[in-house]
Structure 1
Amino acid sequence: MLIHPQFDPIAIAIGPLKVHWYGLTYLAAFSLFYLLATARAAKPPFVDRGWTRQMVEDLLFFGVLGVVLGGRLGYVLFYKPSYYLSHPAEIAALWQGGMAFHGGLLGVISAMLLYAWRQKRPFFEIADLVAPCVPIGLAAGRIGNFINGELWGRAADPSLPWAMVFPQSGSMEPRHPSQLYQFGMEGVLLFVLLWWYARKPRQQGAVAAAFMFGYGCFRFIAEYFREPDSFLGLLALNMSMGQWLCVPMIVLGALFWVMAKKDAFRSRDRKA
């Protein structure tokens, strides 16, 4: 079995300035989003609707705020509400770690709603532009988790060729490298599928709905291999918090996709 390489979490140190690998993966995620979204904005149907590089840059600014604020508040509210209720001063202590994807998703949705209102554009037009550009950034984030040796997997059969020991877990028990599973499924694979699906014009809202459904399904599966948070454990029906948070994503994703296929969102835009 393998042993986690125990990477130094600090990528660059210049005097008191320290740049962490995890921060660099966030930078990579935002950079990849910008490149991909710019490429999508330059093609139909978005270029026909007046999308420009400047608009993508503005959208990215809103999105970064949504990811950071939403991810942090999501972790506070979904995972440790009682702790942060007793230690409110630590809510803003991002350097201590603690971000939640589902909170970040809600933050990004809020940011897109604000951007849609300011630009007077349909929300699902913006969501369809954004959705295929997100998974590859999520993949970068999972690489950051792996480098940090965090969010390790559940116990694995020692005969599994890629079973890995994470000394950070406090034991020498072989585990699933669940960060890499998530990198592959909700990152690379979801990106390939969504980019392929979005290569042709679709009904408004269909691509965004496919992202919600696809991410929810892949994350739900990956959670079976990821060690639940020690302070939560497994919840009802032996499901983790991550799985329970994926259920509404899967249901809403499927519902929105059906509605999009009926052109429901475009019809509402015309009425507006």
Structure 2
Amino acid sequence: MNLMAVPMQVVWDPNPELFKIFGIPLRYYGLLWGVGLFFAYIIVRYQYRDKKIPEKKFEPLFFYCFFGILIGARLGHVIFYQPELLVQSPLEVILPIHIDVAGKWHFKGYSGLASHGGTIGLIIALWLYVRKTKLNYVDVLDMIAVATPITACFIRLANLMNSEIIGKATDVPWAFIFANNSEAGMVPRHPAQLYEALAYLLFFFIMIYLYKKYSTKLHRGFFFGLCLTLIFTFRFFIEFLKENQVTFEDGMQFNMGQWLSVPFIILGLACIFAGKKLDKMKPEIKR
């Protein structure tokens, strides 16, 4: 990595690969995703133990979350941003590869993952999980919500290491030049990925504080609603500082990420302000 600060800008050109194993690269992107999921695993496990939920009910949770997020995020990216892949190269939809014009396969990892799709995938996966474990659906959503911001933080750091999801040109003193992104040009830009990572880290501390101090006083669904509201409201406004990810967004007043954030904000606010009705949901968590 060559991180070089010069007046009014930071030249950002890290090598996205840590090393290769049998020709397969291990990238910071995958590593940081893994670290984010690991922290979420630790935090949710603590909550299960805090609520005295049997270990056997916790054991399958990671499986459901991992595949729900991965499948949802990948399909979300393809459906919302790159639907032509469904026809042109369906294998790239389901496999972490790129097929070049000569038909040769290149292992590149999943370079297109959408947070909105990942959220939908996680919500569906948790519904399947509670059908198996007979836990309360909203209680599980609440516990996952407490851990979600720290995972989101590491995902945005992964995007930073990949020099993707770049910000718009700017002259702020902390602007980044994304030297590894040919489409960005040698132009100082907002490090939007870093903005998001720091915001999500702050949201995580807020969630942990509220859980430790008020978890027994707040109604069911509050943490889920707060998580959605904080993350997607910030996501809506930070998009004004980002370059559009695909060309069809150029003619839109609000880009795809902003439009997709609105339903989650509405759902989050509903859970915060009308969520006391969720306290009546059965079954209760089985101790």
Q: Give the secondary-structure state (helix, strand or coil) at the position aligned to 1:229.
A: coil
Q: Write out aligned runs for 1:57-96 (5 A).
A: 57-94=59-96, 95=109
CA deviation after TM superposition for structure 1 residue 57, in Å: 3.3
- The alignment status of 1:223 with 2:239, answered yes or no, reads yes
Structure 1 pair 53–223 and aligned structure 2 pair: CA distance change class (3 A) = farther
Q: Write out aligned runs for 1:125-204 (5 A).
A: 125-156=139-170, 158=171, 160-167=172-179, 168=181, 169-185=183-199, 187-199=200-212, 200=214, 201=216, 202-204=218-220
> Number of residue pairs matched?
260
Question: Equivalents in 1 of 2:178, 2:94: separation in Å?
Answer: 29
CA deviation after TM superposition for structure 1 residue 219, in Å: 0.8
CA deviation after TM superposition for structure 1 residue 89, in Å: 2.7
Question: Equivalents in 2 of 1:222, 1:196: separation in Å?
Answer: 25
Question: Equivalents in 2 of 1:266, 1:82: separation in Å?
Answer: 44
Q: 1:38 maps to which residue?
A: 45
Give the superposed CA RMSD.
1.8
CA deviation after TM superposition for structure 1 residue 93, in Å: 3.0
- The alignment status of 1:29 with 2:43, answered yes or no, reads no
Question: Equivalents in 1 of 2:11, 2:55: separation in Å?
Answer: 41
Q: 2:57 maps to which residue?
A: 55
Question: Equivalents in 2 of 1:93, 1:15: separation in Å?
Answer: 18
Q: TM-score, normalised by structure 2?
A: 0.85
CA deviation after TM superposition for structure 1 residue 190, in Å: 1.3
Q: TM-score, normalised by structure 1?
A: 0.89
Contact 1:112 1:126 in 2 (8 A): yes
Contact 1:176 1:226 in 2 (8 A): yes
Q: 1:16 maps to which residue?
A: 23
Between 132-141 and 54-63, the greater mean CA deviation after superposition: 54-63
Q: 2:260 maps to which residue?
A: 245
Query: Taking every aligned residue pair, what percent have the same amino acid on both sides?
Result: 28
Deviations 1:70-117 (A, max 9, x none): 110111111112342333232113325110001010110011000111
CA deviation after TM superposition for structure 1 residue 235, in Å: 5.3
Contact 2:225 2:269 in 1 (8 A): yes
Unmatched 5+ stretches in structure 1: none
Question: Equivalents in 2 of 1:211, 1:170: separation in Å?
Answer: 31
Runs of 4+ deviating beyond 4 Å:
none
Q: Which amino acid aligns with 2:208?
A: W
Q: Which amino acid aligns with 2:162?
A: N
CA deviation after TM superposition for structure 1 residue 34, in Å: 1.1
Question: Equivalents in 2 of 1:255, 1:136: separation in Å?
Answer: 23
Question: Equivalents in 1 of 2:135, 2:57: separation in Å?
Answer: 12
